[in-house]
């Protein structure tokens, strides 16, 4: 996915991008105030650091984030382009304004809306992932460590979700300086924060790239022609036949390669069992599929 685009004003792409941006920013801010701050969690980003500062010194989260966001936005704009900077600034403003409004006008009774810490952690991770995923789909960032993750994504092949997990994992260490009720090191803060990051990263990848419903299947069988015909005729999927040589037997082998949905794979496995019980079948996750019948290259 390209991060730097120039959508035509009021075009469908422009409306979609800014809808994702606004919704994602608001969801992020509300999730932070309702599910993260009350439990003194710091699941990465400048808001994680701001939560720690809020706990230690009672500084407003909105004020802390402004001081940290400015230099990061400047760096991100220089590396990723001015269009990136405009969207990021808008996202940051929406988040900060929403957080400020909730800090100023919403009753503090919101604290610990969900009483169970683990359930709260799961909910926080899901909403964080959805919100940041929406912002990424708008080809922007909520600022903070997201900027670092997107810069790294520009130069590496690592998914955005994994990069966010790595960067934010380091920030989690700040939770250890927060005092607990017993005065011990706040390991529980760090553990819950790490769980949020893990869930968040998985949700981000699902929102940005779509849920992984497809599998890559490789089949070695003497009935390769029959199996390839089944894939083509009944499953309406493409298939490629490769020729090779068995390392142990030295005999020539034929392998059928195809990509299909989970449901189609289960149908194919039943068919293979009927025609060749000795077939060798290897199934792997298809993390990204580009081409005819799947995602178009134009979407990249």
pTM of the full predicted structure?
Answer: 0.71
**pLDDT score at 3:** 44
Give me the domain span that covers residue 39: 12-209
> Based on the domain organization, do 268 and 164 belong to the same domain?
no
Provide, rounded to the nearest whole percent, the portion of the chain with pLDDT above 90. Answer: 34
And the tokens for 143?
Answer: 């600022």
In the chain, what is the greatest distance between 2 CA atoms, to the nearest angstrom? 76
Residue 221 · residue 227 · CB < 8 Å: yes
Show which of 158, 190, 209 is a domain's final residue: 209
Is the pLDDT at 217 greater than 60, yes or no?
A: yes
Please tell me the least confidently modeled range out of 27-36, 87-96, 106-115, 183-192: 106-115
Phi/psi zone of residue 293: left (φ > 0), alpha (ψ -120 to 50 degrees), beta? left
**pLDDT score at 262:** 78
Q: Which residues, 6 or more positions from 66, have their beta carbon under 8 angstroms from its beta carbon?
A: 96
The radius of gyration computed from the CA coordinates of the chain, to the nearest angstrom, equals 24
Show which of 164, 191, 209 is a domain's final residue: 209
> Based on the domain organization, do 149 and 255 belong to the same domain?
no
Residue 275 · residue 226 · CB < 8 Å: yes
Mean pLDDT in residue range 140-145:
75
- Each residue of 54-75: pLDDT tens digit? 888 889 999 999 998 888 888 8
**pLDDT score at 209:** 65
What is the spatial distance between Cα 238 and Cα 63, in angstroms, rounded to a whole number? Answer: 56
What is the spatial distance between Cα 132 and Cα 153, in angstroms, rounded to a whole number? Answer: 15
Residue 194 · residue 46 · CB < 8 Å: no
> Based on the domain organization, do 112 and 192 belong to the same domain?
yes
- 284 vs 247, which has greater pLDDT? 284
Q: What is the 3-state secondary structure (H, E, C) of the chain?
A: CCCCCCCCCCCHHHHHHHHHHHHHHHHHHHHHHHHHHHHCCCCCHHHHHHHHHHHHHCCCHHHHHHHHHHHHHHHHHHHHCHHHHHHHHHHHHHHHHHHHHHHHHCCHHHCCCCCCHHHHHHHHHHHHHHHHHHHHHCCCCCCCHHHHHHHHHHHCCCCHHHHHHHHHHHHHHHHHHCCCCCCCCCHHHHHHHHHHHHHHHHHHHHHHHCCCCEEEEEEECCCHHHHHHHHHHCCCCCCEEEEEECCCCCCEEEEEEEEEEHHHHHHHHHHHHHHCCCCEEEEEECCCCECCCCECHHHC
| Confidence band for 2, pLDDT divided at 50, 70 and 90 | very low
Mean pLDDT in residue range 17-31:
94
Please tell me the least confidently modeled range out of 13-27, 28-42, 122-136, 258-272: 258-272
> Based on the domain organization, do 219 and 158 belong to the same domain?
no
> Based on the domain organization, do 173 and 259 belong to the same domain?
no
Number of independent structural domains in the chain? 2
> Based on the domain organization, do 141 and 240 belong to the same domain?
no
And the tokens for 203?
Answer: 């949700």
What is the spatial distance between Cα 260 and Cα 28, in angstroms, rounded to a whole number? Answer: 35
> Based on the domain organization, do 21 and 136 belong to the same domain?
yes
Show which of 185, 209, 233 is a domain's final residue: 209
> Based on the domain organization, do 139 and 157 belong to the same domain?
yes
Is the pLDDT at 4 greater than 60, yes or no?
A: no
**pLDDT score at 244:** 86
């Amino acid at each position: 996915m390209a991060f730097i685009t120039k959508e035509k004003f009021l075009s469908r792409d422009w409306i979609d991008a800014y809808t994702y941006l606004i919704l994602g920013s608001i969801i992020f801010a509300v999730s932070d105030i309702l599910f993260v701050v009350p439990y003194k969690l710091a699941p990465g980003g400048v808001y994680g650091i701001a939560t720690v500062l809020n706990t230690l010194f009672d500084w407003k989260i909105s004020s802390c984030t402004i001081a940290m966001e400015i230099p990061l936005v400047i760096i991100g704009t220089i590396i990723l382009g001015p269009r990136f900077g405009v969207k990021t600034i808008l996202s940051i403003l929406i988040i900060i304004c929403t957080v400020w409004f909730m800090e100023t006008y919403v009753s503090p009774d919101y604290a610990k809306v969900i009483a169970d810490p683990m359930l709260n952690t799961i909910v926080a991770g899901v909403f964080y992932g959805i919100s940041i995923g929406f912002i990424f789909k708008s080809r922007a960032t909520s600022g903070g460590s997201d900027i670092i993750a997107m810069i790294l994504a520009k130069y590496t092949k690592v998914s955005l979700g994994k990069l966010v997990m790595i960067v934010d994992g380091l920030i989690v260490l700040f939770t250890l300086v927060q005092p607990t009720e017993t005065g011990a090191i706040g390991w529980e803060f760090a553990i819950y924060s790490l769980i949020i990051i893990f869930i968040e990263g998985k949700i981000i990848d699902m929102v940005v790239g779509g849920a992984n419903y497809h599998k890559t299947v490789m089949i070695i069988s003497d009935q390769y022609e029959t199996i390839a015909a089944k894939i083509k005729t009944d499953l309406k999927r493409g298939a490629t036949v490769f020729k090779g040589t068995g390392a142990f037997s030295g005999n020539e082998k034929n392998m059928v390669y195809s990509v299909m949905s989970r449901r189609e794979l289960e149908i194919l496995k039943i068919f293979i069992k009927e025609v060749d019980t000795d077939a060798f079948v290897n199934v792997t996750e298809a993390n990204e599929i580009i081409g005819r019948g799947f995602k178009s290259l134009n979407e990249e």
